[in-house]
Amino acid sequence: MAGTPGKSGPSEAGGSSALLTLRGAVFLGIGAMVGAGIFALLGEAGAIAGSAVWISFLAAGLVSLALGYAMAKMGTHYPSSGGLITYLIQGFGNGRLVGVAAWLGYLTAIVVVGAMVAVSFGEYASAMAVGDNNAAGWTKFFASVLVVVTTFLCIIGPRTIDRAQSVIVIALLAVFAIFVLVTLANLDTQLLAPSGYPSATAIVSSIALTFFAYLGFAVISFTGGDLQNPRRNMPRAMYLALGVTMVLYVAIALGVFGTLTVAQVVEFGPTAIAEAVRPTLGDAGFAAMAVAALLATASSVTATLYASEGLTSALAEVGQFPTWFGTTSRLGRHGGLWITTVATLLFVNVFDLGALASIGSAVSLAVFVLVGVAAIRLRETIAAHLSILLAGVLFSVVVLAFFAVDTYNNDQGAFWTMVILPVLALGLDTAWKRRSRAATHDSGEEEPHRA
């Protein structure tokens, strides 16, 4: 079995060398999750699940908790900056499956999702700074500035990330608390009546969309190398971050769909949350929610880029990624972060991210399922309950199946893109492994064994 990649954290008695506190890890996870997803998804999910979206968010949260349980159990035994990739290696060996999953996870959960969230930041920032009639170039400009600034925050170090995320998340939660209090106090229960809910099939189909809003919880798995006493604090950080986020999402969904009709939510789209407080708080409330959107998206991009460095370094260390991504890169010890920054900027400025973002969510969920299967294989070692692990994996597979069928029926272009992404990941893995073997053969070195 391969060793644990990535730098190990002070796994026992919380040594003073640890750079990330429990609070920092919790806020990092909340900041990664409460990003563009909750703003962008309400309209899309409402078009499928109607006013039952709160059930979809609740179900997606429970799936995330089950998968988070698997990651937390793995993290207590294998604390590392390599996060979920470390867990896959422990469960399946350092072979082709991990290589393909690594490229898939990197391209979707890091680059595509990071770029999509940055673009959402750019849309809000350009609307506030330039006005509603701003050119698309301003959106890309502000998105690019955010990516560059957060990259330098990550280079400065975990302590800076800890402080920055704490400030942002506290401010964000304060704004959302006001939103929840205002909307729930003026709730129109008739708008939430079960008689207006769609079929159970429609609600299940929407879970793949709402899961996107929880996608950032995996970031916590990458804190193992920086977190104080990860064996104790990683499970706490995972459950606290997911619990707070799930309660927040359900309350927001109830507040929005209990204030606006489904048709209005679909029409307003990303600004539905802000529109929900306008009847009570007026333009000031709308502006406050716009600021919350800026905070949320900035926090999410920061957390995503922070996770990317631990991920790419671990993958380079075990030979799954080229050495350019590792700490010995010619680009410096932050080589993986620099490459991720350039790739994210490329997606921000060149590609249409709409379809790729939802597809990225589904592909990332598939990678999380693999982590769940790895945990099942190691359940005795990590002392995990089989029933919880099975529940997370099986329900995730059901959600993916519904999503695939719905996508095929309604957007075949997106469906085939979802098929092409694993093929692309397989191609990248094959090309890198062949080049690596050729270099090893030419140098006369013995090729390391891979399970």
CB neighbour list of residue 303: distance below 8 Å, 6 or more residues apart? 28, 29, 31, 32, 165, 216, 219
Q: Is the pLDDT at 377 greater than 90, yes or no?
A: yes
Output the pTM of the full model: 0.77
Q: How far apart are CA 349 and CA 347, in angstroms?
A: 6
Q: What's the rounded mean pLDDT across residues 92-117? A: 84
Q: Which residue has the higher pLDDT, 257 or 95?
A: 257
Domain locations along the chain: 22-432
CB 263 within 8 A of CB 179: no
Calpha distance 103→198 (Å, rounded): 37
Lowest mean pLDDT, pick from 43-47, 159-163, 186-190, 261-265: 159-163
CA 11, CA 60: separation in Å to the nearest integer? 31
Closest CA to 154 of 328, 8, 298: 298
Of the two residues 377 and 203, the one the predictor is more confident about is 377
pLDDT over 80 (residue 4): no
The span from the CA of 197 to the CA of 330, in Å, is: 56
Residue of 310, 233, 235 whose CA lies nearest to 20: 233
Q: Would you identify the CATH topology of the domain 22-432? A: Amino acid/polyamine transporter I (1.20.1740)
* 330 burial level (CB within 10 Å; 0-12, 13-18, 19+): exposed
